[in-house]
Amino acid sequence: MRHDVGLMGGMGSRFALGLAVTLAVFGTLVGAASAGTTIFASADCCNYEPGPYVQDLGDLATFDNTLSTAPHDVRANQLGPDGAPLFSSAVISGGGTSTVRGTQYLKAGTYPFFCIIHGASMSGDLTIDGSKGTAVPRPSIRVSFVKQKLRQIRKSGVRVKVTAVTASTPVGIVASKGKTKIAVKSGLSLGAGKSRTLTLPLSKVGRKAISKGKTVQIKLKATVPFGKPSTASRKVR
């Protein structure tokens, strides 16, 4: 763990408990991420303190907005494999703190970030030092169909199997016919190497979409924050 910003003083105790709880939950589900650098918003709106902001591989950064009275966040310029920012915090009001989710997966390098509210005028850089630590493996999942007849799907829903290659949460699964979403499941949590088989109940729109025809082409898409989506497609008779 590294601290390259000399502003901590007595402020560490304000968020230490909340951060510890967050890391305990996060560590169980996505790997053992340790506390990394703290990114500070300046008291003078609207900037970050100059830093430098440097941390080791596998560390989970924190955003501290206790010096400011305005709402801010930390958001990576670059997108991750899920199409969302490579790392990000919550937008928090003045006086608050937030973990910066996603930094524990970063490889060595320098990553620019900005505040979604104030744009490029409020920006900084997070540097990951590759000489220490180990990056937490990104969430990785696989989704597949469980063998079913079309009449079974029409009656009870779409049976699927989702496997976590690495610990993954929250996992969401969408079944679609063309552009129409016919069934959705969200909020799943799976440990590394664990699988779960479940039924996605059809929505009212979904039941209507597959109510006719002898065959239906159904596509599955499973997503997890900071991980690459998994897809599968099957023609069901």
pLDDT average per 10 residues of sequence, the chain (237 residues): 40 38 41 83 93 96 96 98 98 96 98 96 97 96 97 97 96 98 97 97 97 96 98 97
The whole-angstrom separation of Cα 205 and Cα 167 is 33
- Residue 32's pLDDT is 58
- Residue 219's pLDDT is 98
Structure tokens at 29: 């589900």
- Residue 125's pLDDT is 98
* Cis geometry, peptide bond prior to residue 229 (ω within 30 degrees of 0): no
Tell me which residue has tokens 């829903």.
157
Burial class (CB in 10 A: 0-12, 13-18, 19+), 168: buried
| Coil/strand/helix, residue 114 | strand
- Residue 58's pLDDT is 97
- Residue 49's pLDDT is 96
- Residue 16's pLDDT is 38
Kindly report the pTM of this predicted structure. 0.81
Structure tokens at 8: 């901590």
- Residue 96's pLDDT is 96
**Using one digit for the tens of pLDDT, what is the confidence trace for 173-197?**
999 999 999 999 999 999 999 999 9
- Residue 75's pLDDT is 98
Distance of CA 105 to the CA centre of its chain: 11
The whole-angstrom separation of Cα 84 and Cα 76 is 9
| Domains delineated in the chain | 9-133 (2.60.40.420), 141-236 (2.60.40.10)
The whole-angstrom separation of Cα 206 and Cα 180 is 7
